[in-house]
Amino acid sequence: TSASTKLPFQAEVAQLLHLVTHSLYSNKEIFLRELISNASDACDKLRFEAINDGGLYEDAPNLEVRVTFDKAARTLTIADNGIGLSKQEAIDNLGTIAKSGTKDFMSKLSGDQKADAQLIGQFGVGFYSGFIVADKITVESRRAGMVAGEGVRWVSGGAGDFEVETIERPQRGTSVTLHLREDADDYLNAWKLKQVIGKYSDHISLPILMEKEEWKEGENDQPGDMVKTGEWEPVNKASALWTRAKKDITPEQYSEFYKTISHDYEAPLAWSHNRVEGSTEYTQLLFIPSKAPMDLWNRDKSAGLKLYVKRVFIMDDAEALLPSYLRFVKGVIDSADLPLNVSRELLQESRDVKAIREGSTKRVLAMLEDMANKAAAAAAPAASSDEVTDVVDKKEEAAAETNSEDAGKYAKFYAEFGAVLKEGLGEDFGNRDRIAKLLRFASSTSDTVSVGLADYKARMKEGQEAIYYITADTLAAAKNSPQLELFKKKGIEVLLMTDRVDEWALSYLHEFDGTPLQSVAKGAVDLGTLQDEEEKKAAEVAAETFKPVLERLKEALKDKAEDVRVTTRLVDSPACLVVKDGGMSTQLARMLKQAGQ
């Protein structure tokens, strides 16, 4: 045993700890979920490393978590026999935050406790959540494969620093001991602990054990007490949630499972759970979150899918399992076919993975279509209620009355993830039509982002040959664009696109359901039969009359404009800028300029 070393926390950790202890009071009990999920992760990691080195199991092949408490000492301990931590790992992993986006997250904190608590919830504080209920945490650990003399003790009061020392520790794995604060007495009670574990950790695939207690009769007329019996019993179901039958899983259990794997505090918007059979067999459990994570725009951090092979955890963030435009989806894929030693590189080439990817993509699109259909059915109850056929979850189907909650779901989804979904137009040609159907826009007749291309088509004027749209930085700019004047006058709806990706995404969508998409800001707008003969005549006459003027304008603007024309597209404004057909729009040009290109 060596002397202990005092080390400072990384600045972000110190800041986070301050917030944890000051802002997360309203939801104390989540610390237990976080610590048990870490214990479960550690066992997953051991199982994974042991695929190539069975010796790591030592003499304890049964992986488990034990939760104990000591009333007199006021401590609560969560112990696992998973992979454990070396001293250096304890320093690195319990003293810093490796998560991507940490800095970004910190910069968003406002100092307003309520708002920050929500943010923190989204970010997930993991191990540090122990400090919600503890004023001191002791971690003792030994990494699998290391000798007993290379154990580590890590202690911190949750302020600026922590201490580490080398200890003797025969048993493999980690025990986290919380020295509970005065107001955390609740957790010195077996009943309470079982209740919280049942709520948050029932789906954990490992047994979570607690020592059985017995009622002891009081002596000399004193009230009795609970005494420990030395016998251990599991307090969770200990079977991975996705391996159970759908009918045996409650919505609350799905929701808690989602929260554990996603580190989200909010319930998911929708989920889909299926066993896929055929040439490639796998189980998929996919969730659509209700809120976008902070790193949604980081395309490198793709797909929140965990890959298991025959219930053995293989890897997080398996990006090969879903295309990048669906990176907001969280969940689990458990394959019956892949080899246990599959690597990221192998995943890219596997035919089974290709099948899983296609199947999961279709499933997600079906979930979205289901939400969109429910929203449509609620908007027009009589007309389209029979459209709600493609319901993903059979159990949900039974309860598929369109209530207002269902109706709002798609709008909620779209506000958070619509812009990401659009990337699919350029990324997933095979599903382009399905993706296009899922898109929603504001329009000259609807301020809310709710108009689908199919709705638009259904409302097209007789003789209208294209779906018209305009891109702009803001809704106001789009609505007030002079290029819209003629369309307004003729009562033709124009889609207003204000997302940064619209321009790019739309360049992949030339038509929808046989109707071309046409920017009103490009080239000469030919309204075909919608244009009066008289108007055309007038324009021709004007072009002739104004020829000298046009020549002089062209000369004056020769470095700035390619052409100057008489137009019929304006009603009130004297002039407007347009881009030649096939040219880069002003919007895209500006975006590229901003990006320094």
What residues make contact with Mg ion under the rule CB under 5 A?
A: 38, 126
Among 21, 156, 174, 483, binds ligand ADP (CB under 6 A): 174
Among 38, 260, 280, 302, binds ligand ADP (CB under 6 A): 38
With contacts defined by CB under 6 A, name the span among 37-45, 420-428, 509-517, 550-558 that binds ligand ADP. Answer: 37-45
Q: How far is the CB of 428 from ligand ADP (least distance, A)?
A: 30
Residues in the chain: 597
Contact present, 468 and 494 (Cβ < 8 Å): yes
Contact status: 44 vs ligand ADP (CB under 6 A): no
Chain residue whose CB lies nearest Mg ion: 126
| Pair of tokens at residue 21 | 């202890």
Q: How far is the CB of 34 from ligand ADP (least distance, A)?
A: 6
Contact status: 268 vs ligand ADP (CB under 6 A): no
Q: Which residues 6+ apart lie within 8 Å of 596 measured at CB?
A: none
Compute how many other C-beta atoms are within 10 angstroms of the C-beta atom of residue 276. 17
Q: CB under 5 to 8 A by kind: which of ligand ADP, Mg ion, none does 85 bind?
A: ligand ADP
Contact status: 127 vs ligand ADP (CB under 6 A): yes
148 vs 524, beta carbon nearer ligand ADP: 148
Long-range contacts of 583-587 (CB under 8 A, 24+ apart): 583/522, 585/471, 585/503, 585/519, 585/521, 585/522, 586/521, 587/471, 587/472, 587/473, 587/503
Contact present, 321 and 350 (Cβ < 8 Å): no
Three-class SS state of 416: helix
Q: CB under 5 to 8 A by kind: which of ligand ADP, Mg ion, none does 482 bind?
A: none
Q: How far is the CB of 157 from Mg ion (least distance, A)?
A: 21
> Dihedrals φ, ψ of 78, to 5°?
-115, 115
Compute how many other C-beta atoms are within 10 angstroms of the C-beta atom of residue 206. 25
Place of tokens 């790591």: 56
Three-class SS state of 285: strand
Q: CB under 5 to 8 A by kind: which of ligand ADP, Mg ion, none does 82 bind?
A: ligand ADP
Q: CB under 5 to 8 A by kind: which of Mg ion, ligand ADP, none does 202 bind?
A: none
Q: CB under 5 to 8 A by kind: which of Mg ion, ligand ADP, none does 211 bind?
A: none
Q: How far is the CB of 402 from ligand ADP (least distance, A)?
A: 38
Element (H, E) at 140: strand 134-142
Contact present, 153 and 164 (Cβ < 8 Å): yes
Could you give the string, one character per residue 94-123, with x where binding to ligand ADP holds by CB under 6 A and - elsewhere? x-----------------------------
Three-class SS state of 241: helix
Interactions with ligand ADP, residue window 76-95 (CB under 6 A): 80, 82-85, 93-94
Q: How far is the CB of 256 from ligand ADP (least distance, A)?
A: 17
Q: Note the residues at the interface with ligand ADP (CB under 6 A).
A: 34, 38-39, 41-42, 80, 82-85, 93-94, 126-127, 174
